[in-house]
Amino acid sequence: MRQQSKNRCLGIIPPSWVTWFLQDQEGSLLMAALAFALHVLGAVIWVAGLHVHLMQAIGWIMIALFAWLFQRPWLAFKRAVDAQDWPSAGTSLDRIRQIISINLPLGLIVVLIGASGRFWG
């Protein structure tokens, strides 16, 4: 029986990314499915209303912010806590708070657009 290397998954993607994507990014999977339906199938893109496109665009921005948060401030925070460097951990935590303070209103805007979108005309 052939055994795969622990450093490879699906040929090029590290296993940690696959696990992180599948466990913590249900929204990303939903957005990817919606993007497939809207852009790859072609005909559906003309049927979807403006509110759907706005929600998808804001959703991709939110995903990008979260991915950046995970790659930079969160990992820096984790390393600082492991090293017990509390001032650096506080700086990273402040950056995380700033990103979340952007992401939360975007999420609320998506909810408002989704709830009111059918009344747009």
Specify whether 81 is located in the same domain as 117.
Answer: yes
Burial class (CB in 10 A: 0-12, 13-18, 19+), 40: exposed
pLDDT value of position 8: 39
Domain that holds residue 79: 49-121
Same domain for 62 and 23: no
Per-residue pLDDT of the chain (121 residues; tens, 9 = 90+): 444 444 433 444 444 444 455 445 556 666 677 667 666 665 555 677 889 889 988 998 998 999 899 999 999 999 999 999 999 999 999 999 999 999 999 999 999 999 999 898 7
Whether this model's pTM surpasses 0.75: no
Report the C-alpha gap between 100 and 115 in whole angstroms: 22
Domain count for the chain: 2
Q: Are residues 71 and 111 in the same domain?
A: yes
